Amino acid sequence: MSQQNEYVPPKVWTPNKESGGKFASINRPVAGPTHDKALPVGKHPFQLYSLATPNGVKAGVMFEELLALGKDAEYDAWLINIGDGDQFGSGFVEVNPNSKIPALMDYSGDKPVRVFESGSILLHLAEKFGAFLPTDPAKRVETMNWLFWQMGSAPYLGGGFGHFYAYAPEKIEYAIDRFTMEAKRQLDVLDRRLAESRYLAGDEYTIADIATWSWYGQLALGRLYEAAEFLDVESYENVQRWAREIDARPAVQRGRMVNRTFGEPETQLHERHDASDFETRTQDKIGG
């Protein structure tokens, strides 16, 4: 870029123009609701408000895994279409003041409890049902290590690499190179760990795997940003082995469908209110 075209930041930034890119219509520099809209509430103790992004997939997979264990974790999953700004409705903001999916209302106790941030939802459900979180202190700490690693790392993958590689209105070599280097470094971190361990926390499948697979497992399987070849994901052999093993779990396959609005119609379950919905309420069955 020539010196005469170099961007010089103003002393005080103001949103005086469109930010550009795929998400320009919903990006804004302030929090809070933009409109009044109450959230629907179904018949089950748990009310999930989500979309099948990598963060949203975590919650759907967790609920389906709990149900597969025979836990009393029935839930309603309501679609929050972030492209339409549903996350800025007043009801959603009451559950998550950060206006990000997924968000959860837990009505199973004496008082309703709101839970936001995907990692918090996973931990809340794991502790409530005593599942996918080791009781051994050292293994629990290792699970938390990797859960928090994922929560801290994914913004570089999604908001960094994914944004500049797939969504930015122009290709900026410096930004793509910067975040590609970080994405590949993170994949290498995972690959080295999984070379010595079946799952992230050891030999036990945990919420750390659910959280990390939803981002890095799907990336390794070629499902994010159409970037599999660019990132040479096949070269991370241990990540591939782990990603495919988790992908084969029936609960994971169901969880990926929850609040999904893209892909083949038979993989889309816009709302989930009963276990039978996977057979009767996918988009190929109901259309629309």
pLDDT at position 2 is 44
Confidence (pTM): 0.95
Burial of 245 (0-12, 13-18, 19+ CB in 10 A): middle
Can you state the angle between helices 250-257 and 237-247, rounded to 10 degrees? Answer: 80
Q: Given strand 103-106, what is the order of strands in its sheet?
A: 75-79, 46-50, 103-106, 113-116
Instruction: Indicate whether 156 and 194 sit together in one domain.
Output: yes
Instruction: Indicate whether 69 and 116 sit together in one domain.
Output: yes
Residue 50 tokens, joined: 């989500």
Neighbours of 126 (CB within 10 A): 22
Instruction: Indicate whether 282 and 235 sit together in one domain.
Output: no
Residue 126 DSSP SS3: helix
CATH number for the domain including 214?
1.20.1050.10
Distance CA 63, CA 72 (A): 10
Number of domains forming the structure of the chain = 2
Q: CB–CB of 102/118 below 8 Å?
A: yes
Instruction: Indicate whether 116 and 147 sit together in one domain.
Output: no
In a domain, 8, yes or no: no
Q: What are phi and psi of 261, to 5 degrees?
A: -120, 15
Instruction: Indicate whether 66 and 172 sit together in one domain.
Output: no
Instruction: Indicate whether 46 and 115 sit together in one domain.
Output: yes
pLDDT at position 4 is 53
Distance CA 101, CA 114 (A): 13
In a domain, 14, yes or no: no
Distance CA 170, CA 20 (A): 9
In a domain, 249, yes or no: yes
Residue type, 209: D
Instruction: Indicate whether 240 and 142 sit together in one domain.
Output: yes
pLDDT at position 203 is 97
* Residue pLDDT, tens place only, 12-43: 998 866 656 677 778 889 999 999 999 999 99
Q: CB–CB of 86/80 below 8 Å?
A: yes
**Mean pLDDT in order along the chain per 10 residues (288 residues):** 70 77 80 96 98 98 98 98 96 98 98 98 98 98 98 96 96 97 98 98 98 98 98 98 98 98 97 98 89
Instruction: Indicate whether 148 and 185 sit together in one domain.
Output: yes
Distance CA 259, CA 271 (A): 6
Burial of 281 (0-12, 13-18, 19+ CB in 10 A): middle
pLDDT at position 61 is 98
Q: CB–CB of 38/90 below 8 Å?
A: yes
In a domain, 237, yes or no: yes
Q: Which domain holds residue 230?
A: 137-255
CATH number for the domain including 58?
3.40.30.10
156-161 contacts: CB < 8 A, separation 24 or more?
A: 156/182, 156/183, 156/186, 157/182, 157/183, 157/186, 157/215, 157/216, 157/219, 158/54, 158/215, 161/225, 161/227
Of the candidates 177, 245, 173, 237, the residue with the CA atom closest to the CA atom of residue 209: 245
Q: CB–CB of 186/216 below 8 Å?
A: yes
In a domain, 260, yes or no: no
Instruction: Indicate whether 126 and 90 sit together in one domain.
Output: yes
